[in-house]
Amino acid sequence: MRNPSALKQLLSVPVIVAALGYFVDIYDLLLFSIVRVPSLRALNVGDDQLLQQGIFLINTQMAGMLLGGILWGILGDKKGRLSVLFGSIALYSLANIANGFVTNVDQYAILRFIAGVGLAGELGAGITLVAEVLPKEIRGYGTSIVASVGVLGAVLAYFIADLFDWRIAYFIGGGLGLALLVLRFNVFESGIFKHVKEANVARGNFFALFSSWKRFVKYLRCIMIGLPIWFVIGILITFSPEFGVAIGLHTPIQAGKAVMFSYIGLSLGDMSSGLLSQYLKSRKKTVAVFVCLTALAMLVYLLQRTQSVAVFYSLCLFLGFAIGYWALFVTVAAEQFGTNLRATVATTVPNFVRGSVNVFTPLFLMGVEQAGFLGSAAMVGGATIVLALLAAWRMEETFSRNLDFTE
């Protein structure tokens, strides 16, 4: 990292724009979770319906992200990484501005779905572009910068929602996204993608991931290593007020504050995992280290019986740090596959991992009846850890892989 040319490449326009784009992406992605209660109350939703309607809207947003992940991934391989970077941010920015004008839940649901479609494309396209434009020796640093800067969008969302009305918070998020479009005109396309495009190779065939057993298993492993990340975010952090009650904490926990602290930890973890992977020269070993750290953080979170709110939020920070291999996990997915399928994989994999919360939630709720709140979380969380470690164990090492190849 002492090489001036390497530093110059890490601070190049594609890296900076991808990082700022992901920053706005995370802001908009988490804003609904933060303003859920005041926004629904403003739409005359009764207190007894806040949870039900909130889950409905989150699931609607997630449905949009699952569909968008496939659509943007295919588009990224067929038309180019820049088409996704431009299109996704334009779509979710306009949708979030429109969110500030909703007058009923049905309108809210339609716009959260559209925003979800837009939000699905940013990270995969950004990581793919950065991985392809940087030399293999430093691309781990580049993708870590993207994620570390990006996840801090959650912190901004918390403070903006705290300072302003929820409608203004949506307008600000959409405005930030549109402002970024001006910067994106200076971003250049990946040379590796241009080479494949000129070679007239079949690109963006989503079903090709399932036409070969070897390719399908490789794709499945990419998803499995990310499962603990979204279990922590979707269950342990999202339901942090309920976990506070379950451990006997007398002071109520604020979900928005738990999200903020966990994402501060996630930013620090993303940078740390990137640095560790460069030091060890291994993606596999670094993923395994952080999955084990996540297991430790889960155990401490579920077994402790603190009466200190500060300690509880510190544990949210620790959980966030432990799952801070989010950028590394997407980078690994991008490095596993050829240029003609790389954007498809890097865009669908994180969105399928996000969508896994729709599997975790019913399993967790079913387990609550048998093992209690904390016991159920331990069982489901433990299962994600086992799957992630098995996937990491069997995964190919990609640290020094040349990405100029096709499937």
Domains in the chain and their CATH numbers? 4-185+205-394 (1.20.1250.20)
Q: Is the pLDDT of residue 90 over 70?
A: yes
| CA-derived radius of gyration, the chain | 20
CA distance 87 to 181: 10
Average pLDDT over residues 225-248: 91
329 CB-near residues (< 8 Å, 6+ apart): 222, 225, 226, 229, 287, 349, 350, 353
Instruction: Check residue 43 and report its DSSP letter.
Output: T
CB atoms within 10 A of CB 245: 14
Mean pLDDT of 297-303: 96
The DSSP H or E segment spanning 153 is: helix 153-163
d(CA 135, CA 366) in angstroms, rounded, equals 48
What's the pTM value of the predicted model, to 2 decimals? 0.86
256 is written with which tokens?
């928005």
Q: Specify the length of the chain in residues.
A: 407
182 neighbors 53 (Cβ within 8 angstroms): no
To which H or E segment does residue 361 belong? helix 357-394
- What is the CB neighbour count within 10 angstroms for residue 191? 10
Identify whether the C-beta of residue 321 lies closer than 8 Å to the C-beta of residue 229.
no
209 vs 14, higher pLDDT: 209
Residue 345 has pLDDT above 90, yes or no: yes
- Residue 327 CA to residue 347 CA, distance in Å, equals 12
Which pair of tokens denotes residue 67?
């569909």
**Per-residue pLDDT band at 185 (split at 50, 70, 90):** low
Q: Average the pLDDT over 283-304 and give the result.
A: 96
Q: Would you say residue 192 has pLDDT above 80?
A: no
What's the average model confidence in pLDDT over 277-285? 93
Distance CA 271, CA 139 (A): 13
Question: What is the CA 48 to chain-centroid distance, rounded?
Answer: 30
113 — phi, psi (to 5°)?
Answer: -65, -45
